[in-house]
Structure 1
């Protein structure tokens, strides 16, 4: 059996990807910065690939340190580079996000090449596609042919900078060294949590369900189901025609208030708000950094990302936006991450008119 290295094994996407690989018959070696989340990874593996836990090995390796990477790459046939740093608020020091993204990617590719590994599938983002194109407002659709231009971004965003520079570095290295690279570009990743150690992105759902989100920005985003993102990595690994290609893994544009409406219909007794915050106030609050700074580039812009190419690679339809949202909600409640009101009783979503 081929052994696949998955970086950042404790992450939301990585845990689902490990499950996909194990179910498909691969051996998996996952990297973590520290072993503090080992129990969480094991719990996710039991949930997602029961009976295959013995084919998973976890090793320590830090994106900002050479130690451990040579041995991590030993006897590996392909690398899935998923590891990234995601923070809930724009950091005071952007390098805490940018350095692991860029230096970590360069380090992983360098050690993979030294070990003779040519095949790499990398988790990128729509952040490397739909920004810095000079638009302050309007409706536009982006494809894999579009690349974020950091020099034209009005509002710097550490995650976007790190992801874009990392992908640029990856393509440059792969081209110069003859490596076989594919990049996968999800949007806001929802879908079911496998264990209590969940992703920051699921805070979008939990904040609405528990009432800690008192009002919503008037923006939307491309939602990706974590199950599609993981499956697309595996599909890329198996399809030689994916080499040298970028793939958007994105569903239709969905407004924040549409997410709230889906949750209110399914969970009528939960305190899901439908209040929105005017754009002018969001721009004012963004001057003070915080979470708003990360979405300021999207205010006034309706960005659609054409995921048709990725869906063809996947070989099946994406999970619907509603499935991604409600599966996230169900898992958060089931795992005790959102407390159920005494009167709460989930119901099936109403059919679309």
Structure 2
């Protein structure tokens, strides 16, 4: 075992988790990743190798099969572990009819991980949370507002809660409650919209924002924006938190500047002028009508008509450097979704005029 010890990373096949694993290995740690299906082990190893081509990566990375909704495997997963990165999450593109399909793995899974860690004597936990646990239920219906780590989402005050927000918020609440009751050293990281380079073809739903614009499968943009963050910064913040005891008991927003959907399109249009990138924007009134009719837009309807800034300077201080720019996060995502063949075959580049 390396001098820095063995770190457990849950949800090892995820977009963020693969970068966390690569960063840990590069930093001299051994890593054990959890997977629901060990058949994914080789593909995760290859993705990690794509990020950090280190000869010893295979010997420093092992896997165990677990499920967030089952006890089997978790006790063994904790053997000899010095710290845990609980990154695993269920993320869906469209709001599910059954919210429990997202909420249960988030809440029960977090409790299960915390309980297994405590039983094994593992105190240090870094939890991947979200801005969804910060910036909602505060009566913000229009205009601009800035949120910090001091804000906590109020699910009871949300007009239209959605499964991911419910799951992440309740999971974080459960984690802090358990940590305080059992003297565990918890830190939570709260990313915004995660972009940046894909490590392989099995990537995040969030990169669909970029690929949908590039291949024309997004016919019209939403009239809104988001606080973007590069996946490399999210991973680096997890490791910085692990290595800085001052982060214990703290929440950190992993958020760069607010960027509007139309600005993302323009960044891509400048780099890829032959791509069929839409200029159309869905009007707010149409989204609100769709929401009243029961359309699956609850994931974004709370952000219609307002601008939410998430103050990320505390996270930059943890990193010890500025965040990767929003433009670089967008363009590196575009380069890799193109290189890995993640664009729709139906996309036909526009013909340029002579």
TM-score, structure 2 length as denominator?
0.95
Q: Cα distance, 1:161 vs. partner?
A: 0.4
RMSD, aligned α-carbons = 1.4
Task: Give the structure 2 partner of residue 348 of structure 1.
Answer: none
Contact 2:215 2:348 in 1 (8 A): no
Q: Deviation of residue 46 (structure 1)?
A: 1.4
User: What corresponds to 2:291 in structure 1?
Assistant: 286
CA distance in structure 2 between the partners assigned to 1:207 and 1:342 by the alignment: 13
1:180-212, Cα deviation, whole Å (9 max, x unpaired): 000000011000000010111100001000000
| 1:124 alignment partner, one of 129, 132, 135 | 129
Post-superposition CA distance 1:218-242 (Å, at most 9, x none): 0110001000000000000000000
Q: Which is worse superposed, 19-28 or 278-287?
A: 278-287
Question: For the residues of structure 1 that align with 2:274 and 2:137, how far apart are their CA atoms?
Answer: 41
Partner of 2:49 in structure 1?
46
* Structure 2 SS opposite 1:298: coil
Does residue 335 of structure 1 match 2:318?
no
- List gaps (5 residues or longer) in structure 2: none
Structure-2 residue corresponding to 1:225: 230
Aligned residues: 345
Shift of residue 84 of structure 1? 0.4
1:210 match: 215
Closer/same/farther in 2, CA of residues 342 and 106 from structure 1, 3 Å limit: closer
Distance 1:159 1:53 in 2: 33
Q: 1:344 to 1:58 in 2, by over 3 A?
A: farther
Match of 1:134 among 125, 136, 139: 139
Conservation of the 8 A alpha-carbon contact between 2:276 and 2:348 = no
Equivalent residue for 1:319, pick from 306, 324, 328:
324
Aligned residue for 2:81, secondary structure, equals: coil
User: Which residues of structure 1 form unaligned runs of 5+?
Assistant: 346-353
Q: Deviation at 1:28?
A: 0.1
Which of 57, 79, 83 is residue 78 of structure 1 equivalent to? 83
- Rounded Cα–Cα distance in structure 2 between residues aligned with 1:207 and 1:255: 15
Counterpart of 1:6 (choices 2, 6, 9) is 9
Q: CA-to-partner distance for each residue in 1:94-128, whole Å, 9 max, x for gaps? A: 00000000000000000000000000000000000
- Are positions 1:157 and 2:182 aligned together? no
CA shift in 2, pair 1:67/1:263, >3 Å = same
1:283 CA displacement = 1.3
* Alignment-derived partner of residue 27 in structure 1: 30
Q: In the alignment, is the contact (CA less than 8 A) between 1:90 and 1:289 conserved in 2?
A: no
Please give the alpha-carbon distance, in whole angstroms, between the structure 1 residues aligned to 2:76 and 2:234: 27
| Distance verdict in 2 for CA 1:4–1:152, change over 3 Å | same
Distance 1:40 1:344, change over 3 A: farther
**What is residue 95 of structure 1 aligned with on the other side?**
100
Q: Deviations over 1:277-335 (max 9, x none)?
A: 11010112234555522100000110000000000000111000000000000000011
Q: Cα distance, 1:142 vs. partner?
A: 0.1
The answer to whether the aligner puts 1:268 opposite 2:268 as a matched pair is: no
Corresponding residue number in structure 1 for 2:258: 253
Question: The residue matched to 1:79 in structure 2 has which SS?
Answer: strand
- The whole-number CA distance in structure 1 between the counterparts of 2:272 and 2:188 is 36
TM-score (norm 1): 0.95
Q: 1:310 aligned to 2:315?
A: yes
Q: Name the structure 1 match of 2:204.
A: 199
Instruction: Report the Cα offset of residue 137 of structure 1.
Output: 1.1
Cα distance in structure 2, aligned partners of 1:296 and 1:227 = 28
Instruction: Say whether the 8 Å CA contact 1:14–1:82 is kept in structure 2.
Output: yes
Q: Which residue of 2 aligns with 1:351?
A: none
Deviation at 1:342, TM superposition (A): 7.6
